[in-house]
Amino acid sequence: MAQLVIKGLQVSVEGESGAIEILRGVDLTINSGEVHAIMGPNGSGKSTLAYSIAGHPKYSVTGGSVTLDGVDVLEMSVDERAKAGLFLAMQYPVEVPGVSVSNFLRTAATALRGEAPKVRTWVGEVKEAMSKLSIDPAFSERSVNEGFSGGEKKRHEILQMELLKPKIAILDETDSGLDVDALRIVSEGVNRVKSEQNLGIMLITHYTRILRYIKPDFVHVFAGGKIVEEGGPELADRLEEKGYAQYAKA
């Protein structure tokens, strides 16, 4: 069982006139096998939470702590966080020209496992995972995310998650830019990996449509850089009906 514990997390970013506080004391615990939906309006700090945990240099942690299985995440480099079992699926996955998907995936797996996976076994793993996500095998030889559609980029993110086997996955607006078919395929992939690997998930989203496919155990409402309300799936239904206006002054 893995556990990600966030306590009193405060994060700032440098603006033209100095530091701007974005996160103002976030408390959250995610265990293996749990799905936590983080919902809230634009600018509430949801993505800042994701990138701060992952170690993006743009964000400065000014208070609080983040631990994974009792180990201080904030003292780790970005690659150390990945090796410890953290995974971030980005809202806007970056293109990596000149690096094929197959090389990227095998290099990442080698870094995490400490040794290169056996070629024959690895090729079989990749082909099986790609098939489940309806990814054309020809994608293996294409440059990472270069010329990919929005749906293809998101499926590639879930492919990485399935093959790299993290303990805790942070999915930043994975539903962004997906049509109905792509949303279903991506969601089925997330559910499959969660079930097979007992994965803990932080699912960041504006909308409830993805929650029809990926059922959350807990829903947390973000506003003004902190969690202002928590509940079960019924909270997401209430947000769908009433929106975020009630939290505008939080």
Per residue in 143-201, pLDDT (tens digit) is 999 989 888 999 999 999 999 999 999 999 999 889 999 999 999 999 999 999 999 99
Two tokens, residue 200: 């803990």
Report the candidate in 60, 56, 64, 57 with the shortest Cα–Cα distance to residue 27: 64
Q: Structural domains in the chain?
A: 3-247 (3.40.50.300)
Q: Looking at residue 43, what is its pLDDT?
A: 86
pLDDT at 225: 94
Question: pLDDT at position 112, please?
Answer: 92
- Report the distance separating Cα 155 and Cα 157, nearest Å: 5
Range 105-125 average pLDDT: 93
Please report how many Cα atoms fall inside a 13 Å half-sphere around the Cα of residue 155, on the Cβ side: 24
Q: Are 134 and 186 in contact (CB under 8 A)?
A: no
In which element (H, E) is residue 236 found?
A: helix 233-242
Tell me the CA distances in angstroms from 157 to 54, 93, 129, 174, 214, one per residue in order: 15, 8, 12, 9, 16
Task: Express each pLDDT in 19-75 by its tens digit.
Answer: 999 999 999 999 999 999 999 988 899 999 999 999 999 999 999 999 999 999 999
Residue of 244, 181, 183 lying closest to 212 (CA atoms) = 183
Bridge partner residues of 20 (DSSP): 13
| Structure confidence at residue 250 (pLDDT) | 54
Instruction: Tell me the CA end-to-end span of the chain in Å, nearest whole number.
Output: 34
Q: Quick one: pLDDT band at residue 16, thresholds 50, 70, 90?
A: confident
- Is it the case that residue 249 has pLDDT exceeding 70? no
- Give CB contacts under 8 A, 24+ apart, made by 75-79: 78/54, 79/111
72 phi/psi in degrees, rounded to 5: -70, 110
User: Of the candidates 216, 183, 189, 179, which has an alpha carbon nearest to the alpha carbon of residue 200?
Assistant: 216
Query: How large is the average pLDDT for residues 69-83?
Result: 96
Give me the percent of the chain exceeding a pLDDT of 90: 83
CA separation for the pair 81, 122 (Å, rounded): 23
Per-residue pLDDT, 176:
87
Residue 107 — very low, low, confident or very high, per pLDDT cuts 50/70/90? Answer: very high
Q: Residue 133: pLDDT above 70?
A: yes
The pTM (predicted TM-score) of the whole model is 0.94
pLDDT at 64: 98
Q: Which residues contact 241 (CB under 8 A, 6 or more apart)?
A: none
> Mean pLDDT of all residues in the chain?
94
Q: Taking residues 202-213, what's their average pLDDT?
A: 94
Helices and strands (H and E) in the chain: how many: 7, 12
Half-sphere exposure of 231 (CA within 13 A, CB side): 11
Going by C-beta distance under 8 Å and a sequence separation of 6 or more, which residues neighbour residue 175? 183, 186, 205, 207, 209, 210
